[in-house]
Chain A
């Protein structure tokens, strides 16, 4: 008879190497989803033990205790206690400890023991501990704790063999009767007593390092230096931007031409008509225009995961905490906002590292104001068409200056909005404490990084295949129906629903200097900002779309006034022109309300900015 699936749960403090152990156990057989009703990432993986037992393992969010002070930690507590809705009670809990740093985990384990769940203590990173001269009396530790203890080196091949063998051994004799759960929230006195007990056990079983990690101290002397540290951070950011914008470019162009070629094949093989138009313009160019961002997403996550694995992320938060605090942001908001320069979607997803709900919400709300890469095609087009490429003050290129100004306007407005949110909406709110472990530096392991990047890329593609696909179908429909009457000479789009909507919107947009063609282009621009460029091309009945960007530029220069162009730039700094970002905000906040709030505030800002820009420009004679 086949044994039922064995359910394991990984519990541990942050930085205990839980995730690398999870990756080592399951490889790429992972499923990432959300726990129902909350935005906590649920990571489950599968593997088979040496004796052939099928195992499911869940990587629970890192926690220092079972008190559950954030949604993540509540999940961990409820899961272990078997109270999480729709979840199986774990048959066996693996408590993962960084062998070089046992204090906090042993205390957590003593607390976990009270739940009565069968448990194994996994001393991970045992190789590093040995190298540092830490020796652990594993047998004695197991006896003192009353829990089996096993060592592992997650990042080495075969480093989890002992753990797998022990899992087989224990699962063979698991009691069917659930043990009694004696857990309740610890009082401060009990917490202190537990830490004392943990310290006693450690001093009995572990000989502490004769030499501390001098590498970490040496690196930190530079990296955490008040001034030097900020310079290092700026250098890292520079390389990261360079990578995202320059290194990704060839790959993106390759993908783009691949999709164009595919579209051409469809165009050539299918007869002229609706099916051809749907496949070429709706599916291939629509979904393709989003998938071209895959290289950027991969590169940005590669950097983030590398820096995180290395142990640098906590340091970046440390350096930026007070600087961002001036605008009412938490130090940990730094990385998500940084990622938003590539794309707000990974940025908003990365806000999960912020444990305070309100700090996280503020960060999510302002992330779309960071100038994402999808705005670049729009900015480039308008700037090259309207801003003369002359030097100002002898050495600064005016076009470059305008581009820089657009970035600066995004950042400044994000900081101002954050400040206003704290000031008006979350007024009763005092700053959340910044308390963070700065882990010792570790060499990032390629396999673990590769699995992490792969999982993120898969999620992105899945989204492109579902949400964005359906959005594209809708937009194609609006732009294609109703069909023009026979013999019509105007572009087909003139007769479509999109044009009807565009013309209906025109009176609203006239005060900011937009004509109906712009209004129409803004609609497909909702699916992805840069699509507006192609849409303007279509609307002005130019052949070639994106490839002919320079040509569109020439046409725009004759059809638009400078005031309209500037107004359009101002609009794009703020406008909530990205349905995918809004969808991610809805998912991550679990609320349509916050999505609507983001949409509304950005729309108001965009309108106001365009209104002011247009009227000032007209008054100065640029109308």
Chain B
């Protein structure tokens, strides 16, 4: 496949032993501070594109084919492709960038571009956006997906897929419990109580090792109630009334057994098993739950957004993006490659390799995507009302990386899920934790 660019001694000695002990004891130090194993790909004459394992290995094979099949216009450089594992990815990127062996273009963590922008490592994508305007792709973006990436200095990155959190439910459990699918918080509470009588949980989540669905559940319920962690201008605003109300509601579900008391320790495998074993009746999760949990019978489907007590409706979205770096052999070549790559994204959905929403309307209309009614429902009902972690604000920033993966949110989530707190105390501790780590 070819892509055409659209732009240009055996004795036990004291010294020996202490040396060994000191070396072994320094392991945590080395682990904590040592540079990552940034591997180099390609030489200086190519645009290095680093990509993450966004789906099965078949995804990376397809993405590699697109990147390495890119045929640049005269004067521009070709591209090389490398997969970077999620494990310690930030360390990998950081050490590579620090040693000037990093990529010219990459995907990565949802807020990674803003973190590296703070450190002067990001090349703004304004020229790429201009090219997307010229080739018609700009107008093809779903509403509201590009704006969060615009900073005072320019576009920090370009979105390429949307990682959504939406409510899913298992139809048969609602039928068995004789209760309707919730449309608002009040009906969610009532449904949860009835589902409990048949041994099912009305709000399935998890916050165990490596599982961030619990964290996302907390923020999702806040934004569903018109709240959020930040003000529209980006100031920390944890203690607002809407957040307090949302956490009180979650604690009520915990105390009523609507949330599994073991959820605090559930890994994603545990949570998948809860869905598969018909223990989970309703709850927030990612796209493609039926395939993920191994039940494609049609019993697990996407619910419509539910209304908070004040009538607010919202979901959560993580706009994953592609960023460019200042350390590139040719900025023009980076831009040309990125524009060309964006033009080929549809192949990934055509091959049904993605577990995320596309950012382009045209891809949502592909039969390979729209043949799944859950996808259609998410595009029609959830995407237009989806908010980012920046809620109540809109613009993304580096602080969101600390919020997303940081200890403060995780501890807050686990405190709420254990139920041994009240909303204001939990939120207060959450706010203090965030204040201590957020950049002013």
A, B co-complexed? no
Residues of A within 8 A of B (CB): none
